[in-house]
């Protein structure tokens, strides 16, 4: 009997989850039943993925860097990763600004609807503003300062400080290269074995992915706010999704064909399990284990590249987030009747690029950084409340863009240094 591919199982879980929720909300107590008896399975699934995110980064990066045996290889990959990440991020911001200026979604918001949404989501927006104030009060090099941890145990205790974990792993990997091979061997053998254990844990966790995705989708639909607000924000949502779809299905596949001569359709099929999991979890960090598995086993990227490029990408390469921030900023300005000059919109490109790099790889982190973008452009920060109603579903799609960008950049870098094997058959 032919084995059902994982991505088919995940799609089935998503569809069944939505169908279950639509049926449950028709019955009295159905929403509460979903929260009490279905939602916990989705939470457990995400927690399992988050559980191995830090160990995966430590094991894969230390193994990958120490395998290089030459620091010059590390610098070459690092430079190419930075250039590619900046290029795709700036393109995403420019695409977002183009889309929002073409569709003008904010001009369709009536004053009555704006007042209603501000009232409904003002409290949540206020919380995000408070979090953003901490970011705005920091100096220009604060994000660089935050990369270096003062306590690795503390840094490893939170997925929001993933850059600090990456810094430590790179530091250890470089040190292993620089000491004599016989002294490095015991520790290297440990991390090689540790990495194999983590990969096996990923395989075991992914066996429960269809159930986890079912629970996540059922909860999302059951807990959604009233559909009237969604209708009011429909044009904004369409604008964001249009930009993200162009990124995911046109821009990235074009880069793959241009730089690797691979079949773009086959590439999307190969990374589809990571895309579907990104969609259901809204977290690049939680999806990282599956992203690495897809890129290595299905696309053919060498572990030497994937273990270095992907963990960094999951933390700093947020194309979907940067596109969304550009669209959201102009949308809110339009909703308040503000006209943004070309200079202001160019400022949004710079700020959104830097803000997306600073966003944590966890659900809705981009909302916090969006406040900084709004402040820079002189847009009322309270307007954040206007987009809260649809942020969660849009966060799901923009995470797909983030993960696809990571896969694309890893594949291109692997090709450029001769570390890309023949594509594996999608399974």
Does residue 110 sit within a domain?
A: yes
Tally of structural domains, the chain? 1
- Residue 14 in any domain: the answer is yes
CB pairs under 8 A, 24+ apart, for 332-335?
A: 332/106, 332/374, 332/379, 332/380, 332/383, 332/384, 332/386, 332/387, 333/106, 333/377, 333/379, 333/383, 334/100, 334/104, 334/105, 334/106, 334/107, 334/109, 335/106, 335/107, 335/109, 335/114, 335/383, 335/386
Does the pLDDT at position 238 exceed 90? yes
Q: For Cα atoms 401, 407, 412, give the angle at the middle one, nearest 5 degrees.
A: 125
In tens, the pLDDT along 354-404 reads 666 655 554 555 666 677 678 778 887 767 777 876 777 888 899 999 999
- Core vs surface per residue 332-343: b (16+ CB within 10 A) or e: bbbbeebebeee
With respect to residue 422, please indicate whether it lies within any of the assigned structural domains.
no
CA distance 46 to 33: 20
pLDDT of residue 426: 46
**How large is the average pLDDT for residues 87-107?**
92
337 CB-near residues (< 8 Å, 6+ apart): none
The pLDDT score that the predictor gives to residue 78 is: 86
Tell me, yes or no, whether 305 lies in a domain: yes
Mean pLDDT is lowest, of 66-70, 85-89, 324-328, 359-363, for: 359-363
Residue 424, in any domain of the structure: no
User: Considering only CA atoms, which of 336, 385, 370 is closest in space to residue 131?
Assistant: 370
Q: pTM, whole model, 2 decimals?
A: 0.79
Residue 425 lies in a domain: no
CATH code, domain with 174: 1.10.3860.10
User: What range does the domain containing 120 cover?
Assistant: 6-416
More confident residue, 308 or 124: 308
In a domain, 330, yes or no: yes
The predicted model gives 174-197 an average pLDDT of: 90
Q: Is residue 427 part of a domain?
A: no
């Amino acid at each position: 009997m032919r084995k059902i591919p994982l991505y088919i199982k995940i799609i089935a879980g998503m569809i069944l989850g939505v169908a279950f929720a639509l049926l449950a909300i028709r019955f009295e107590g159905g929403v509460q039943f979903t929260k009490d008896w279905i939602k916990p399975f989705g939470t457990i699934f995400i927690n399992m993925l988050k559980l191995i995110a830090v160990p995966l980064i430590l094991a894969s990066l230390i193994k990958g860097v120490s395998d290089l045996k030459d620091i010059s290889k590390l610098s070459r990959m690092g430079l190419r990763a930075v250039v590619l990440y900046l290029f795709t991020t700036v393109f995403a911001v420019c695409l977002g600004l183009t889309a929002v200026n073409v569709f003008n979604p904010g001009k369709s918001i009536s004053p009555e609807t704006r007042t209603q949404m501000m009232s409904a989501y003002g409290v949540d927006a206020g919380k995000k503003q408070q979090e953003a104030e901490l970011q705005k009060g920091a100096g220009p090099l604060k994000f660089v300062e935050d990369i270096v941890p003062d306590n690795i145990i503390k840094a490893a205790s939170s997925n929001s400080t993933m850059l600090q974990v990456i810094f430590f792993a790179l530091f250890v990997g470089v040190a292993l290269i620089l000491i004599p091979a016989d002294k490095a061997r015991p520790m290297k053998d440990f991390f090689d074995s540790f990495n194999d254990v983590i990969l096996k844990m990923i395989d075991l966790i992914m066996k429960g992915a269809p159930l986890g995705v079912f629970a996540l989708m059922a909860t999302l639909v059951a807990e959604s706010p009233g559909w009237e607000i969604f209708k009011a924000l429909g044009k904004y949502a369409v604008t964001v999704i249009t930009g993200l779809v162009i990124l995911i299905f046109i821009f990235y596949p074009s880069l793959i064909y241009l730089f690797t001569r691979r079949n773009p359709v086959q590439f999307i099929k190969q990374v589809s399990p990571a895309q579907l999991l990104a969609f259901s979890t809204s977290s690049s960090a939680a999806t990282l284990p599956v992203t690495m598995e897809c890129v290595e086993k299905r696309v053919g990227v060498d572990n030497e590249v994937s273990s270095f490029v992907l963990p960094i990408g999951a933390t700093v390469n947020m194309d979907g987030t940067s596109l969304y921030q550009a669209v959201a900023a102009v949308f809110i300005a339009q909703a308040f009747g503000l006209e943004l000059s070309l200079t202001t919109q160019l400022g949004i490109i710079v700020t959104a690029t830097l803000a997306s790099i600073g966003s944590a790889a966890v659900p809705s982190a981009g909302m916090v950084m969006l406040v900084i973008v709004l402040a820079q452009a002189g847009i009322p920060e309270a307007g954040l409340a206007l987009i809260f109603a649809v942020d969660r579903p849009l966060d799901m799609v923009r995470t797909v863009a983030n993960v696809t960008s990571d896969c694309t950049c890893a594949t291109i870098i692997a090709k450029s240094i001769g570390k890309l094997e023949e594509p594996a058959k999608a399974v």
